[in-house]
Amino acid sequence: MPNVRDASALTRAVLLAAGLLLVGLVFRELVTLLVAVLMTVLIAIPLGAVADRFERSRLPVPRWIGALLALLLGLAVLAGALAIVIPEFVSQTDAFVEQVPEIVDSFRERLNDIGGSGTGAEAQEFLERYTDNPGEFIGPLALIGLNVASAVAALLLILITAYYMAVNPQPLLEGITALVPPARREWARSVMGRLRQAWVGWMQGVLADMLITFVLLYVGLELVGLELTLFFAVFSAILVIIPYFGAVLGAIPPTLFAFADGTDTALLTLGVYVLVQQIEGNLTIPLVMANRVRLHPALVAIGVVIVGQLFGFIGLFVAVPILSAIVILVDELWVKPTEAKAGIATPDSEEGRHAIASGPLEVPRG
């Protein structure tokens, strides 16, 4: 009998390990799809909100027209921003290209000044490999071009799918609630309302953070006298969608670029980014995460690292929505049931019910 029990335990352990391995492999294959679905939902929510307002206005507008107008307006704003940025970026890039020989010479002189150390010699050899053999750039540039084309195609598919979700969300929501037992469907609607409210708050906070970061960096870099100011400000403003770490990534290119103009310029540029990061880390992010998404900044900082490991670099752009979904599901599936069993009164999420009932993703009752 002991041998039979040991064999049974060993079999269960092997099956559990095989199951976990299978789940891990499937997750790796589906991670990109999961991120794409989440991005689609995040885009569909504001489109649905605008369509809902048009539909409930004094002059009712069909949902498909309202969602289309919202999508076209968003694309128009994006195109307008690009129209403002790209010409200035192209002109500044032309000026930068003309200065490339001078910049390379400046780098070489500075590397030669590093006391002949092995690190300086290796860095100089690395730079010379690319400056003396420009053809080595072709491979990476071609790969970047393919990745950009794939990203544009994926974005187009996401926009089209989000539009159709915003036009007619009811079948999707009914399908989700149908997976839940009838006695728990009211609870499912409340959870979806909490998710929607958190994600809308995140989008509003991110837009405000982007605007504040762009203005502060643009003014600061202009005062420093750095070229490509507009491009660097836009680039860094986009990266603030990645909490904390986006500010670090955004500071690297302009600091290296400023180093070619001199150590003082590089230090001033870095100082501008440090100041803006301090404002973001101590004011903007706490307000966004604590008040809008209701996530502790420390949890966000740790969670971004975990999400990056699980979902890759692209997952960092939707790290906060993923974290808020995890926190809400843990609260609903674990914390509240545990407190209920312990006899602790836990109020229902009335704000979640209100969000789902008054928002564009309303689920028919009964």
One digit per residue, the tens of pLDDT, for the chain of length 366 reads: 455 555 666 677 777 777 777 766 666 667 778 888 889 999 999 999 888 888 888 778 888 898 999 999 988 888 887 776 677 666 665 655 565 566 556 656 655 655 444 444 555 555 555 555 555 544 554 555 556 677 778 888 889 999 999 998 888 888 888 888 888 889 999 999 889 888 888 888 888 888 888 999 999 999 988 877 888 888 888 888 887 788 888 888 888 888 777 788 888 999 999 998 888 777 776 766 666 677 777 788 888 888 888 887 788 888 889 888 988 988 888 888 888 888 775 554 444 444 444 444 444 343
How crowded is the C-beta side of 170, counted as CA atoms within 13 Å? 8
pLDDT score, position 32: 78
| Residue 110 · residue 262 · CB < 8 Å | no
Burial 48-66 (b: 16+ CB within 10 A, else e): bbbbbebeeeeeeeebeeb
| Residue 360 · residue 45 · CB < 8 Å | yes
pTM (2 decimals)? 0.70
Query: In the chain, what's the furthest Cα-to-Cα distance?
Result: 83
Sign of CA dihedral 199, 205, 211, 217: negative
pLDDT score, position 8: 66
| Residue 38 · residue 165 · CB < 8 Å | no
CA–chain centroid gap for 162, Å, is: 17
| Per-domain boundaries in the chain | 30-168, 170-366
